[in-house]
Structure 1
Amino acid sequence: METTIVTSTSKRRFAKVKRWDSFITGHLFISPWLIGFLLLTLYPMIQSLYYSFTDFSLLEEANWVGVRNYEKIFTVDTRFYQSVKVTFLYVLGSVPLRLIAALFIAMLLARSIKGISAYRTMIYFPSLIGGSIAVSLLWKNIFGREGYINEVLALFGIQGIGWINNPDTALSTLVLLVVWQFGSAMVIFLAGLKQIPQDLYEASSADGAGKVTQFFNITLPMLSPTIYFNIIMGIIGAFQMFTPAMIITQGGPMNSTYVYALYLYERAFSQLQMGYASSLAWIMLLIIALSTSVIFLSSKYWVFYESEKEDQR
């Protein structure tokens, strides 16, 4: 009996030591990421939260002012509301169009034809350079008054306009830029399409279902988790759009492309109001959190998971 007790105790101690060793080993493996997260993400966020309650600038020490920055933003700052309005218009325009373009191209590239890998690479390439300065300058040349678009229109006798200099079209050119860079969403859609069982299409075809019926009753429901993921990532990215607005339009004309990130940048580095800019940053974080929360809460009504269907059985 005593031997059994000693053996059981030893096993428990051995299991505890083994779990502790696994814990240490796991954290050693993730330590590069963990150190980077603590020093480059968490600490700056905490510091930014503190600065949002101060009048800190790059030239003077920070003085505690409480919620004065937030009061000024919501009660006095008209440019804040303008930037929020423009940003929401950009999000509402760019995210759906980008997803539609990505899904359409992904369905074309999901076919098994000769050389399809080369086509996928070429179509994905614009997303590798992303919203870089070079792409923004290229876009500025394409849609400028003397740009390539107007040169093509002139061949057909159509008088062009300054697309990026017109308040009615400037924001649309920025939306078109992000729609053109649909490669990352396309790759995710392509992976999702590959996971849809072909038996579903074959069975529906035998029942007389056409391509349109299959798309709405099979493809979209089965892709709903992928669509959900792309919507969340698209919203987060669109709210933070900065480089195209800075390089192509500088927020103009008439503040029609004055997005939130550009306003935050000007407050922080042009006017050196780092405390005020920190308040703007935390407000943007809350706006993004609320926007994604709405999508998250609504997902139970339109996102289909195969595992849920199996659980119901």
Structure 2
Amino acid sequence: MKRNRSMIIAFAGPATLIFVATFIYPIIRTIVMSFFSIQEITDATDKWKFNGIGNYISLMETPLYRTSWINLFKIFIIGGVITLGASLLLAVILKSGVHGKRFFQAAIYLPNVISAVAMATMWIQYVFNSSYGFLTNLFKALHLDFLADVQWLDADHKFWALLISYCFGMIGHFMLIWVSGIERIGKDYYEAASIDGANKVGQLLYITLPLLKGIFRTNVIMWSISVSGFFIWSKLFSPISADTSTIVPMVYMYDKLFGAENTGDVVRDAGTAAAIGVMLCLFIVLVFTVVNRLIKDDDLEF
């Protein structure tokens, strides 16, 4: 027994130390930093000034920060419905026996292989451009001038352009997760349903969807993690300054941590940035808790 214990410590010890050093310690340090007034992230602890929950109060009183959370919730809810709904529909179609499903599956997933920077640049330059963009030329060809005249990159439409392009890039990722869930459902269920007279819609509603509860729960949690780290797309759609139509908490945290130009000065506030990080973490924990309480698949059997 002692020998086995020594072997466990020898193998698990280094991995545990690395995990604590790279994950646990940074999390604890970030939480502690959120209660202090800190200018530079590299400042020694003797330069930290205790601020209590002052950083959190200051954030909640800042209109731009509140706007960033409104944008995040809009991406989470509206984008989540679009992305998860479209990806589920495509997964069901691909698993229904359509010809060339491997090609279509690879084609739909392709945007996930391309860099997010390249994808965002493509949408901005070649899709939403008001002079020669794809949408402008398409609507002109269809003689829909009122749609061709839409300025997708102005303040009124930029958020929706951002949301559409982001959802397009994420559909393939979640489609594969849906496909993996559908593949583990036994064909016997569908054969029995067909014998009983159930059509494709009935099989989808009473077999596929109920047996995908666990996958749905996973996708919602994965979507919340993806949305909470939303950064690159926002910065590329508003590269010069924090635009109220595209700003999200991660961008606001970046500006606080590394400095944003304000009346000619560069202002850094690592303590406030740490508080934003903690709130984003709490957002994910809240989604995880709510989803696990509301969506249960313990009563389902495969």
TM-score relative to the length of structure 1: 0.82
Query: Are 1:257 and 2:246 matched, yes or no?
Result: yes
Query: Are 1:191 and 2:170 matched, yes or no?
Result: no
* Matched residue type, 2:160: S
Say whether the 8 Å CA contact 1:251–1:259 is kept in structure 2.
no
State the match for 2:159 in structure 1.
171
State the match for 2:20 in structure 1.
38
% identity of equivalent residues:
24
CA distances 1:229-278 after superposition (whole Å, capped 9, x unpaired): 11111112112211101111349896122211111111111231111111
State the match for 1:69 in structure 2.
55
Residue of 49, 64, 71 corresponding to 1:86:
71
Distance between the aligned counterparts of 1:154 and 1:161, measured in 2? 11
Structure 1 residue 202: deviation in Å? Answer: 1.4
Distance between the aligned counterparts of 1:44 and 1:213, measured in 2? 50
Query: Are 1:266 and 2:250 matched, yes or no?
Result: no
Distance between the aligned counterparts of 1:206 and 1:111, measured in 2? 17
Query: Are 1:290 and 2:275 matched, yes or no?
Result: no
State the match for 1:135 in structure 2.
119
Say whether the 8 Å CA contact 2:256–2:272 is kept in structure 1.
yes
CA distances 1:34-86 after superposition (whole Å, capped 9, x unpaired): 45533332222222122212211128632222222122223x32222111111
Give the gaps of 5 or more residues in structure 2: 260-266
CA distances 1:266-298 after superposition (whole Å, capped 9, x unpaired): 111123111111111112211221122111111
Output aligned runs, 1:4-43, within 5 Å.
16-24=1-9, 26-27=11-12, 31=14, 34-43=16-25
Distance between the aligned counterparts of 2:35 and 2:181, measured in 1? 45
Distance between the aligned counterparts of 1:129 and 1:210, measured in 2? 38
Structure 1 residue 207: deviation in Å? Answer: 1.5
Structure 1 residue 160: deviation in Å? Answer: 2.6
State the match for 2:32 in structure 1.
50
* Matched residue type, 2:137: E
Say whether the 8 Å CA contact 2:242–2:251 is kept in structure 1.
no
Distance between the aligned counterparts of 1:192 and 1:285, measured in 2? 27
Distance between the aligned counterparts of 2:130 and 2:77, measured in 1? 27
TM-score relative to the length of structure 2: 0.85
Output aligned runs, 1:208-227, within 5 Å.
208-227=197-216
Distance between the aligned counterparts of 2:101 and 2:281, measured in 1? 40
Distance between the aligned counterparts of 1:305 and 1:185, measured in 2? 24
Number of aligned residue pairs = 285
Distance between the aligned counterparts of 1:95 and 1:205, measured in 2? 32
State the match for 1:153 in structure 2.
139
Distance between the aligned counterparts of 1:118 and 1:210, measured in 2? 27
* Matched residue type, 2:300: E
Specify whether residues 230 and 100 from structure 1 end up closer, same or farther in structure 2 by C-alpha distance, changes over 3 A only. same
Q: Secondary structure at the match of 1:163?
A: coil
* Structure with larger Rg: 1
Residue of 104, 108, 113 corresponding to 1:119:
104
Specify whether residues 39 and 124 from structure 1 end up closer, same or farther in structure 2 by C-alpha distance, changes over 3 A only. same
Output aligned runs, 1:241-256, within 5 Å.
241-250=230-239, 255-256=244-245
Alpha-carbon RMSD across the aligned residues, in angstroms, is 2.4
* Matched residue type, 1:298: L
State the match for 1:228 in structure 2.
217
